[in-house]
Structure 1
């Protein structure tokens, strides 16, 4: 019963953060909900085996499930839909829309790597471990994704930075 209470408390506390990450990974609010539910379902089945902080375990499920989905189905890319957003100034809204449009035109793999590296602030090694790929793959995918963003949205140059 204690495991069940711990899981319920974890879900209540962490679902909003997991949902934001899932939305950034998928670019679709409904698919993000499915991704979070799938990750939490898998975590619930293994909850009794999780020692310590469950966050890394659940996030790894979230990332690897997303990778599995785009590997299995090669889902057609769709533009980012409406998602709950805080009120922002006109220039913030324009920047956000430009960034969302550009991210929506990346491949799922490229978007996932950028989310892990820059939203989740993981190192290349941590992102590689999370995705089950080499650090070199994370480096090259990051480089390709940022290059594509520079091409798709040159107005984001200040945000993205110059290539090294």
Structure 2
């Protein structure tokens, strides 16, 4: 590869890397997993850079979503054990309820199947339409709608305190 392509790729990573890392974090649920997920996606993108350089970000995002879902299918992992009551937290301050709610939400998201988590990430973090989400995940619009509905219902079940914060949507 020539220096020009390397420079273009480096500029892309410098410009969009932080945004892509936030998406990877939402999918992986932890910093190390997110960094690994993004690094693998960028390595795949680099190999195809001459073909994708005009439209690289959607390509990298697609890799992130597909690799995360695929990785969960093929990896055996230790099961998470949900708890009914979280232990007391020292120093929660005035925003303790918000922090606790966010931690509950994070743990509930990690308990969702990978496809449901990917759908919620695309729909609510990335603010994509149902159609865009379906296209990115390579599935039907009905699949996105049903996965979203099931995921939101499961989140309400896992974290009843979220019930007023989650809205059901059709398209």
Q: Tell me the TM-score normalized by structure 2.
A: 0.82
Where does 1:4-153 land on structure 2 (aligned, <5 Å)? 4-73=6-75, 75-76=77-78, 78=80, 89-153=95-159
For residues 127 and 71 of structure 1, the distance between their equivalents in structure 2, rounded to whole angstroms, comes to: 20
Question: 1:49 offset after TM fit, Å?
Answer: 0.9
Question: 1:91 offset after TM fit, Å?
Answer: 3.0
In structure 2, do the counterparts of structure 1 residues 54 and 94 end up closer, same or farther at CA, with 3 Å as the change threshold?
Answer: same
Count of residue pairs brought into register by the alignment: 156
Instruction: Name stretches of at least 5 consecutive residues in structure 2 with no aligned partner.
Output: 82-93
Please identify runs of 4+ aligned residues in structure 1 that moved more than 2 A.
71-79, 88-92, 161-164
For residues 107 and 160 of structure 2, the distance between their equivalents in structure 1, rounded to whole angstroms, comes to: 12
Question: 1:52 offset after TM fit, Å?
Answer: 2.2
Aligned Cα RMSD in Å?
2.1
Q: Deviations over 1:88-143 (max 9, x none)?
A: 93232122112112112211221111001100111111111111111111111101
Find the partner of 2:166 among 151, 156, 160.
160
- Helix, strand or coil: the match of 1:52? helix
Larger Rg: 2
Instruction: Name stretches of at least 5 consecutive residues in structure 1 with no aligned partner.
Output: 80-87
For residues 157 and 53 of structure 1, the distance between their equivalents in structure 2, rounded to whole angstroms, comes to: 38
For residues 9 and 163 of structure 1, the distance between their equivalents in structure 2, rounded to whole angstroms, comes to: 38
